[in-house]
Structure 1
Amino acid sequence: MDSLWFRKFGGTGESASDIVRLFCFPHAGGSASSYTALSRALSPHIDVRAVQYPGRQDRHRETPAGDITELAGRIAERLRDSTETPYAFFGHSMGALVAYETARVLHTWQVPAPVRLFLSGRGAPTAAPNRHDVLPDDRAILTVVRSLGGTSAGVLDDPELREMALPALRADYRALASYRWLSGDPLDLPVTVLTGRDDPVVPVTEAARWSEFTRSSCGLRVFPGDHFYLDPQVAGVAEALMDELRPLARR
């Protein structure tokens, strides 16, 4: 598996054929390391691989992707030979869209589908841009990121670290602002939607609309917290993922 794109932070005590592999897609401006705590909470039962987008951390010299579907296609290309082991996707915020679009690409290629999509902190897509994604300049981006919080918000208080983070944030918000859902058949795979009860940008009703995008089951789990509910609720989220994934592991 391509170690440039997929990072592993926790060990697994079982053989690869006996576990489900979970690919985790970061939020806007986020990196693979944002899933360190979740990876460790799920080990050794789930083989977690966090996606490292271009343009951040050790890939900071690469040009960040400026288009959601283009990024999804690049990820799918690197996943298509790793779909024999049962696998699932977890995406938070922007990562939920990237995970969903990656699943759509893989579907068109007729490769084995994920056993489940976990879509977190993001409302269902629409044909029009989400008003929270259309930000005019760096100042607006920084204001929104600070207001949403999360473990990475404190990085923006350091001028040097802020300058390093801005290129990825600009590209990600440009990708979000230009994203348009292209009409197509619903995916035929189960979905679990996770969201924070007090998320200021994702009302629970918008998160619940993901049920319209699958022919299979769609569950909704609401956690205490806001947009980055995952940080303080990592143990509860890990338990929710385990509830869905452990029965799917190969016996």
Structure 2
Amino acid sequence: MSVGAHRTVPPALVDTDRWFRRYRVTEPPRRRLLVLPHAGGSASFFHTWGTAFDRGTEVLVARYPGRHDRLTDPCIENMEELADQVTAALLPFLDVPVTFFGHSMGASLAYEMALRLRDRHGVRPAALHVSSRKPPHRLAPQRVYEKGDEALIEEVRRLGGTDETLLTDPDLREILLPAIRADFTIVGTYGPRPADPVDCPVYAYVGNEDSGVSVTDMSDWSDVTSQAFHLDVLPGGHFYLVDRHDSLVRMVSRRLAADD
């Protein structure tokens, strides 16, 4: 679906089940990092993250329905159902501390999953990392998903992070559009809702040239935690994490170790 920068990735033990691409470590993991992609995104966007952390960190990347190997699975169009299903799929992986990293739509999903783990299972993530997305109480309805295909594609193009070839090839567009529209429906119909605090540290990241999410927006994620909060502003736009891959991974890696 979406692709990031082309990098050489060391060999990894990769398992792919229905909901997660799992980059297994060669020893029992001390912690797990669950990565939640953006609207229109897929696990392949974060393929370089699978082997970017120490040997004690096992990486899981969410696989949303309606794309790649899940192309025939029905797309999900509301946040509640998506959060319910990904949370249920995560339960077998809670034998070690789990940290969430969510980019754009994935940040909202990470927050909703943290609430579900707390309220339904008495579990809290080790930390919540949120990227390029307003917090739940600062969101406003967005109706891009109600527009025609060209308007939707133009919004994806404006945000960046997607290979232009996928957007211009008619056959590929026909395959991709249902998942893109479903994801933008989730984004457009989620929020605003109360800032219900999560009982874990929150780390926020944003590009200094992001036209849709400001530094002030990201700072308001401090309202949803009863613990530590830290904001990092990196050079770039909505998909700053492509060009700033190494810097971001170092930040996340350092915080994973600190939150043990």
Give TM-score scaled by structure 1 length: 0.91
Residue of structure 1 in register with 2:45 after alignment: 34
Post-superposition offset of 1:151? 4.0
SS for the counterpart of 1:109 is: helix
Aligned residue in 1 for 2:249: 238
Q: How far apart in 2 are the matches of 1:151 and 1:235?
A: 19
State the secondary structure of the residue aligned to 1:238: helix
Residue 65 and residue 248 in structure 1: after superposition, are their counterparts in 2 closer, same or farther (change >3 A)? same
> Which residue does the alignment assign to 2:10?
none
Structure-2 separation of matches of 1:194 and 1:45: 24
CA spacing shift, 1:2–1:103, aligned 2, 3 Å: farther
The answer to whether the 8 Å contact 1:196/1:223 transfers is yes
**Structure 2 vs 1, CA of residues 108 and 152 (structure 1 numbering), >3 Å: closer, same or farther?**
farther
Looking at structure 1, the residues matched to 233 and 179 of structure 2 have their Cα atoms a distance apart, in angstroms, of 29
In 2, Cα distance between equivalents of 1:14 and 1:121: 33
Give the percent of matched residue pairs that are identical in Structure 1 and Structure 2.
36
Structure-2 change in CA distance of 1:233 and 1:69 (3 Å):
same
What does residue 213 of structure 1 align with? 224
RMSD of equivalent CA atoms: 2.0
2:19 counterpart letter in structure 1? W
Pairwise CA distance, 1:39: 2.2
- Equivalent in the alignment of 1:121: 132
- The match for 2:8 is none
Aligned pairs for 1:1-251 within 5 A: 3-8=17-22, 10-16=23-29, 19-126=30-137, 129-131=140-142, 136-183=147-194, 185-249=196-260
Q: Is the 8 A contact 2:195 2:223 kept in 1?
A: no
Name the count of aligned residue pairs.
Answer: 246
Cα separation, 2, equivalents of 1:240 and 1:85:
21
* 8 Å CA contact retained: 1:126, 1:181: yes
Higher relative contact order (CA closer than 8 Å, sequence separation 6+): 1
Work out the CA distance in 1 between the residues paired with 2:16 and 2:26.
Answer: 21
Query: What is the CA distance between 1:157 and its match in structure 2?
Result: 1.7
1:152–1:105 CA distance, 2 compared to 1 (3 A): farther
Return the TM-score normalized by structure 2.
Answer: 0.88
In 2, the alpha carbon distance for the partners of 1:3 and 1:232 equals 29
1:14 is displaced (CA, Å) by: 3.8
Structure 1 residues 127 and 195: alpha-carbon distance in aligned structure 2, compared to 1, 3 A threshold: closer
Segments of structure 2 that go 5 or more residues without pairing to the other structure are 1-14
DSSP-derived class of the 1:198 partner: coil
Q: State which drifts further: 124-133 or 38-47.
A: 124-133
Residue deviations 1:6-62 (CA, integer Å, cap 9, x gap): 102x4534422xx22000001001111111012232253421100001111110111
> 1:127 and 1:148 mapped to 2: Cα distance?
19
Shift of 1:246: 1.5
